[in-house]
Amino acid sequence: MEQIHKRFTVEQVRSLLKGYCHGELNRLTIEDILEIGRSRFFTLLEQYRSDSDGFSIEYHRTSPKRISVHIDKRIKEELMRQKELIENPELPITTYNYSFIRDYLSKNGITVSLPTIISRAKLLGCYMPRPKQKAHDRQVITTAIGTLIQHDASHHRWSPYAKDKWVLITSLDDFSRKLLYADFFEQETTWAHIQSAEILMRTYGIPLQYYVDSLRVFRFIQQRDSLWRKHVLQTDEADPQWRQVMSTLGVKVIFALSAQAKGKVERPYRWLQDRIVRICAMEKITSIEDVRSVLKDELNRYNNHQVHSTTGEIPSILFEKARKQGNTLFRPFVLPKPFTSIKDVFCLTEKRTVNGYRKIELFNHDIPVPNVPLRQEVIVHLYPEIKKNVLEVRLWWNNQMIQALTYPLNQFPSVHF
């Protein structure tokens, strides 16, 4: 079918629309005459009503605007840089991110469309079709914030210019998809995970449940973790330090059956991982402090500006909306009895028996224990402050704190915090 401007004059179409506006003709009659649909009719009607004298049905073809040689060169440079990242086996980058290239060029004052970048990528052999998504083994559904915190860690080389690998630890609210915690650590330790839980709970409250994998930090598994002399302990009969903290605070821990089962936190991980590595490569970042700055910007983008594909809302806005409506299972943070200090809750715990000299042995240190009968078991709370390079040792017996001692961290070289 030929276009309207080839079958009718402007005056003929204007006369029909004028008749409709005066109530002389109905819409269906005009659509039959012009052989157009309802949407096209109302488009023409809007144009006529806005400017009846200047109304036109002429079709004006506009030639696509060509990008400059300079912009074309920059696109090629960024695509080839992405190719180098993908081909580097030490980096967690396996695909091209054309949206990232568009955003990065935009920050540098270059505006270019995504289809243009993709077309250049295909010409340069820098194009990969999207792989088919695999179905998840398990889906977790929640109805309120604080119902479930998905907690995970990612250990990678985050910059091609960095010598070391760093660990990104994050905690995500399952309902709102807001990342409540994210930070880099030089090593993945039990203490790093305890610190992340402390910051989250003191900021937002105590959640109902944590959802984690079966890493040693979180779970004791008999065939994997036990020594020959401890085979009497079955899976989950021994609580790792992190899980002891959760138990003290009354937080239930759920273990994922597979990586696919943790998809809700794995997807934000991949998003953060992808963008952080690319930015670190482009800005030639070498220190963990600088990569923390990149993380802060990307975390702000994810939580406060980006509409989540599943919820259809910005995570921070959805989180605040639920909180104001009372749709939350976060409990206000209160120290459980008999404790009066944070250092006795978010801590590492050891048990020792008082010897005949009324002392306990702790990592090659003899520590005096006053007012405790011989052969009694005391509970030792260890609270390291890495930045201050000190370790506070707090001794408990019979639900009472006996004493607190502070040591330099370097006096405990065999203990990794």
Query: How does pLDDT run across 271-305, given as a tens digit for each residue?
Result: 788 889 899 988 889 999 999 999 999 999 999 98
Please state, in angstroms and rounded to a whole number, the distance separating the CA atoms of residues 314 and 337.
38
Q: Residue 208: what pLDDT?
A: 96
Q: How many whole angstroms from its chain centre is CA 374? A: 50
Of the candidates 382, 389, 386, the residue with the CA atom closest to the CA atom of residue 408: 389
Beta strands in 14-106 (DSSP E): none
Phi–psi pair at 373, nearest 5 degrees: -60, 155
> What average pLDDT score do residues 136-153 get?
78
pLDDT band at 263 (very low <50, low <70, confident <90, very high): low
How does DSSP classify residue 410? G
Residue 323 has pLDDT above 90, yes or no: yes
Both tokens of 310, joined, read: 């599943």
Phi/psi for 254 (5° steps) reads -115, 135
- Angstrom CA distances, 274 to 17, 24, 115, 196, stand at 54, 61, 20, 22
Report pLDDT for 91.
Answer: 82
Query: Coil, strand, or helix at residue 109?
Result: coil
pLDDT above 70 covers a percentage of the chain that reads 85
Residue 175: per-residue pLDDT: 93
**pLDDT value, residue 406:** 93
Element (H, E) at 103: helix 98-107
Are residues 99 and 58 in contact, defined by beta-carbon separation less than 8 angstroms? no
* Angle separating helix axes 27-34 and 38-50, nearest 10 degrees: 100
Distances (CA, A) of 161 to 83, 91, 96, 274, 279: 16, 11, 20, 16, 12
Q: Is the pTM of this model over 0.75?
A: no
Predicted confidence band of residue 234 (pLDDT cuts 50, 70, 90): very low
Q: For residue 391, what pLDDT band results from cuts at 50, 70 and 90?
A: very high
Residue 246's pLDDT band (cuts 50, 70, 90):
very high
Judged against a pLDDT cut of 70, whether residue 222 lies above it is answered with: no
pLDDT digits (tens, 9 = 90+) for 327-363: 999 999 999 999 999 999 999 999 999 998 889 999 8
pLDDT score at 332: 96
- Confidence class of residue 204 from pLDDT cuts 50, 70 and 90? very high
- DSSP class per residue in 262-320: GHHHHHHHHHHHHHHHHHHHHTT--SHHHHHHHHHHHHHHHHHTPPPTTTSS-HHHHHH
Could you give the CA distance from residue 104 to residue 274 in angstroms, rounded to a whole number? Answer: 13
pLDDT of residue 287: 93
Give the chain's length. 417
Q: Average model confidence (pLDDT) for the chain? A: 84
Confidence of residue 225 (pLDDT cuts 50, 70, 90): very low
> What is the distance between the alpha carbons of residues 258 and 398, in angstroms, rounded to a whole number?
41
Asked if 188 and 218 count as a contact pair (C-beta separation under 8 A), the reply is: no
- What value does the mean pLDDT take over residues 25-46? 86
Token duo for residue 125 = 């052999």
For 35, left (φ over 0), alpha (ψ -120 to 50), or beta? left
Question: How far apart (Å, rounded) are the C-alpha atoms in residues 384 and 14?
Answer: 82
Q: Closest Cα to residue 337, out of 411, 209, 212, 248?
A: 248
Contact 130, 199 (CB under 8 A): no
Which string of DSSP letters, residue by residue, matches 276-292?
A: HHHHHHHTT--SHHHHH
Tell me the C-alpha distance between 170 and 179, whole Å. Answer: 7
What tokens does 68 get? 């400059």
Residues 6+ apart with CB under 8 A from 245: 194, 197, 345, 346, 347
Distances (CA, A) of 331 to 142, 195, 316: 16, 19, 19
Which CA distances in Å does 198 have to 150, 158, 249, 344? 15, 25, 11, 12
User: Are 101 and 111 within 8 A, CB to CB?
Assistant: no
Beta 348-353 vs 365-368: how paired, if at all? Answer: unpaired
CA 197/CA 152 separation, integer angstroms: 11
Report the SS3 class of residue 20.
helix
Percent of all residues in the chain with a pLDDT value above 90, rounded to a whole number: 41
Q: Inform me whether the pLDDT recorded for 24 exceeds 80.
A: yes
What average pLDDT does range 190-204 have in this prediction?
94
Distances from the Cα of 182 to the Cα of 192, 245, 272, angstroms: 11, 19, 10
> Is the pLDDT at 235 greater than 50, yes or no?
no
